[in-house]
A and B are shown apart, each in its own frame.
Chain A
Amino acid sequence: MWRIAKGRSEVLMSDNAAQFDELASLHENMAHWPLRKYVEMPSVLEAIGDVDGLSILDFGCGTGVYSRILKQRGAGRVVGYDPALGMLSYARRRAEKEAINISFVSHLPASLMGQFDLVLAAYVLPYAATETELQAMCADIAVLLRPGGRFVTLPIHPSYSSRSDYYEPYGFRLAADDPEKPYLDGGRIRVDFCKNGEQGSVFAWYWSAASLECALEQAGLRSLKWRELDAPAYATFDHPPKELHAYLQKPHSVIIEGVRAREPRYAESKS
């Protein structure tokens, strides 16, 4: 959770990647937190659906948790991308030892453009610090997809709880720089990890639904669909473990899906 990625926006965001160099094992351990294990990951995997034979890019892969899962679920080719070398090193070693064939890269060569059936970018868009960066990041991601390819991403939920301690039982706190304006477009949010004591902090940025949709559409992504996180393993809302109820009422993230337009965008505007 809370990863960073960069492409054309690489220069702009190099400082953000460095935030993560020492957080690899924390990132990996988060996969076992109930929030991720029972809510986020099943929701994301349900949204992604069948991956058999697909070519997938895990953009901002961190320690490669999703990369490994997707490869093990039958994906054809999986590439994990992350500019944080500490994360990538963990990801490479782990996959190597588990004999899972994944290529992990710290930059995206031109040869990867238009190569993927699916790009997953979990907790990536919140690290765009300006509207320009957000647009650049979405554009960087969209060009990696083949026409018709799908994009699945998890931004900060536009209606996240602005109470900074709301998510503390789930292992983290979200505190807007300006507590009076927690939903300010481009407003900075401090993310403190506190599952087992204070384990570090990173900065993320809030983007409204309108800004997110605008950036994704400008990047050539169509058929945008919003999906709330839920707990697919449990039949009804009341069934998940009690401690997850408050989270499910006010999740900190949401899934957005989109599809890369089959025709270049400039063709649309000409017609």
Chain B
Amino acid sequence: MTIVPSRSEASRAFCSGVSQKLCDMDEHEWDALISDNNFYNSYRWLRALEHSFGATDVLAVHGSASLVAACTLWEGDQASGMFFLPDCMADIPGPWQQSFLWLGGRRNTHNEIPCIQGGRRRQALTELGRCALNYVQERGYAGFVMPYMPYQAAVEFADAIGAAVVLHSAEASLEVPDTGLAGVMARSRAHDRNQSKSEIAAFQRMGSKVEWAAAEELDDSVAAHLFTQNRSRYGSAQDLEWMQRILAGQRKAGVSHLGAAAISKRNDDVTALALFYRFGTALHLRYFGADYNLGLNDYRYFVLCYYEALDYAAAHGLTTLRLSTSALRAKVNRGAKIEPQAVVAKCADKQHICHSEAKRHNRRMLRQYRDQFPGHLSHDWKLVESHQDRTG
């Protein structure tokens, strides 16, 4: 790893540099910078990606005694979709068709910069941004982006590095009461509560049962087969081998150690599987798969991903169920809150992103979500509003 002193600020200066692989970093040092919600930037998750898809460069900022900020790099997707920059920045003028560097884990739908807490946090973020800018300038990228950031984290990072914040997505999360599903049902609207009850009843009526297993105990080929069926049903082009490679990488990196699987069975046949990861006080839903050849209409997706997960989380002292970015309506109807996500974007040269366009876009998106999900938006949307007003 090349460490270049960033300032002539004696012993308290930060040094930043680029490493060719994550294993140059100390796992525990890295993970001390990761919040419970930022599991997909945790060391083992990123190592698993390395095992599955090859090593990527890592930006790292060090203090005199330890790592203070870092992130992995990748290049986004080259075809339309969730990780294609022209799609993320659809109505903001900019050079989005050009090559941008992506900060964060590969295909992450939740990104925060792994960074120290405390008085020097902003300084560490600024140094990481400076390092990223050097990286893109040296390698001819048009700029860098970090997508799928919680709005507050995006604003903090953008302020520290002089970048633009553009809303582009939203994710769902559920606060888990001590009483699990019963607690969520108690605070739901009558219509939603009745719907949940009838889905659970239908699941049971059809003779389906749920079992929980550690991810380490799963048969990866069965899991990959189910996940691939679900992914292809919703338009993914990746095949079984691709999914198997991911699961093998996770096993090798020790991510499986953090995984828990809710398995739906009928007559001892596995009909569906949801894979979660425990991290701190959060439970992250990552994969769902089902055997669609069975033609069952037993609501196993909802039972595994929400109802059972809530009870599992409560029983294990977990306080948040993280449900990612898709199918927000279904999640909201089952008690989830919607949180805004933004991309932080910075161009390498003088070509700046038009801040007034970005603000107009952010206001428009705020209105859309308020219209679509009234009463289900997290507090962060108020920050979106006040931020656009304050700076606009």
Bin chain B's interface residue count. Answer: 20 to 34
Do B32 and A198 have beta carbons less than 8 Å apart? no
Do B31 and A198 have beta carbons less than 8 Å apart? no
Q: Give me 20 other A-B pairs in contact (C-beta within 8 A), A24-B32, A89-B34 excluded.
A: A18-B118, A21-B116, A21-B120, A22-B66, A24-B29, A25-B66, A26-B66, A86-B32, A89-B32, A90-B29, A90-B32, A92-B280, A93-B31, A93-B32, A93-B280, A94-B28, A96-B280, A198-B64, A199-B64, A200-B64
Residue in contact with A25 in the complex, picked from B26, B257, B280, CB distance below 8 Å: B26
Do B117 and A90 have beta carbons less than 8 Å apart? no
Q: List 24 A-B contacts (CB under 8 A).
A: A18-B118, A21-B118, A21-B119, A22-B65, A23-B65, A23-B66, A24-B29, A25-B29, A25-B32, A25-B65, A25-B66, A86-B116, A89-B33, A90-B31, A93-B28, A94-B28, A94-B31, A96-B280, A97-B28, A97-B31, A97-B257, A199-B64, A200-B11, A200-B64
B347 at the interface (CB under 8 A from A): no
Q: Digit string of B118-147 for contact with A (CB within 8 Å is 1, else 0)? A: 111000000000000000000000000000
Nearest-CB distance from A247 to chain B (Å)?
Answer: 22
How many A-B contacts if CB must be within 8 Å? 68
B68 at the interface (CB under 8 A from A): yes
The chain B residue with its CB closest to the CB of A20 is B118
Nearest-CB distance from A116 to chain B (Å)?
Answer: 21
A193 at the interface (CB under 8 A from B): yes
| Inter-chain contacts of A199 with B (CB < 8 A) | 64-65
B67 at the interface (CB under 8 A from A): yes
Q: Digit string of B11-52 for contact with A (CB within 8 Å is 1, else 0)? A: 100000000000000101101111000000000000000000
Do A18 and B119 have beta carbons less than 8 Å apart? yes
Nearest-CB distance from B5 to chain A (Å)?
Answer: 13
A25 to B70, CA, bound (A): 15
Do A22 and B32 have beta carbons less than 8 Å apart? no
Would you list which residues of chain B between 264 and 307 have a CB under 8 Å from chain A? Answer: 279-280
Q: Digit string of A44-87 for contact with B (CB within 8 Å is 1, else 0)? A: 00000000000000000000000000000000000000001110
Which of A18, A22, A199 has most B Cβ within 10 Å?
A: A22
| Inter-chain contacts of A89 with B (CB < 8 A) | 32-34, 117
| Inter-chain contacts of A10 with B (CB < 8 A) | none
B94 at the interface (CB under 8 A from A): no
B residues apposed to A, CB below 8 Å:
11, 26, 28-29, 31-34, 63-68, 116-120, 257, 279-280
Contacts A85-B117, A85-B118; A22 near B63 (Cβ below 8 A): yes
Give the total of A residues in contact with B, Cβ under 8 Å. Answer: 23
| Inter-chain contacts of B11 with A (CB < 8 A) | 198, 200-201
A179 to B29, CA, bound (A): 36
| Inter-chain contacts of B32 with A (CB < 8 A) | 24-25, 86, 89-90, 93
A28 at the interface (CB under 8 A from B): yes
Residue in contact with B28 in the complex, picked from A22, A28, A201, CB distance below 8 Å: A28
Contacts A193-B65, A198-B11; A25 near B119 (Cβ below 8 A): no
The chain B residue with its CB closest to the CB of A101 is B317
The chain B residue with its CB closest to the CB of A199 is B65
A84 to B66, CA, bound (A): 15
Residue in contact with A200 in the complex, picked from B28, B65, B116, B119, CB distance below 8 Å: B65
Do A86 and B117 have beta carbons less than 8 Å apart? yes
Would you list which residues of chain A between 160 and 205 have a CB under 8 Å from chain B? Answer: 193, 198-201
3 closest pairs, A vs B, by CB?
Answer: A21-B118, A90-B32, A26-B65
The chain A residue with its CB closest to the CB of B62 is A22
| Inter-chain contacts of B65 with A (CB < 8 A) | 22-23, 25-26, 193, 199-200
A21 to B116, CA, bound (A): 7
Nearest-CB distance from A244 to chain B (Å)?
Answer: 24
| Inter-chain contacts of A24 with B (CB < 8 A) | 29, 32, 66
A199 to B15, CA, bound (A): 13
The chain A residue with its CB closest to the CB of B118 is A21
A24 to B32, CA, bound (A): 8
Do A86 and B29 have beta carbons less than 8 Å apart? no
| Inter-chain contacts of A193 with B (CB < 8 A) | 65
Nearest-CB distance from B160 to chain A (Å)?
Answer: 17
Q: Digit string of A188-229 for contact with B (CB within 8 Å is 1, else 0)? A: 000001000011110000000000000000000000000000
Nearest-CB distance from A72 to chain B (Å)?
Answer: 17
A68 to B18, CA, bound (A): 33
A198 to B13, CA, bound (A): 12
Contacts A93-B32, A199-B65; A22 near B280 (Cβ below 8 A): no
| Inter-chain contacts of A84 with B (CB < 8 A) | 118
Contacts A96-B280, A199-B64; A25 near B28 (Cβ below 8 A): yes
| Inter-chain contacts of B117 with A (CB < 8 A) | 21, 85-86, 89
Which of A25, A90, A93, A97 has most B Cβ within 10 Å?
A: A93
| Inter-chain contacts of A18 with B (CB < 8 A) | 118-119
The chain B residue with its CB closest to the CB of A103 is B317
| Inter-chain contacts of B280 with A (CB < 8 A) | 92-93, 96
The chain B residue with its CB closest to the CB of A93 is B31
| Inter-chain contacts of A97 with B (CB < 8 A) | 28, 31, 257
| Inter-chain contacts of B67 with A (CB < 8 A) | 25
A243 to B64, CA, bound (A): 26
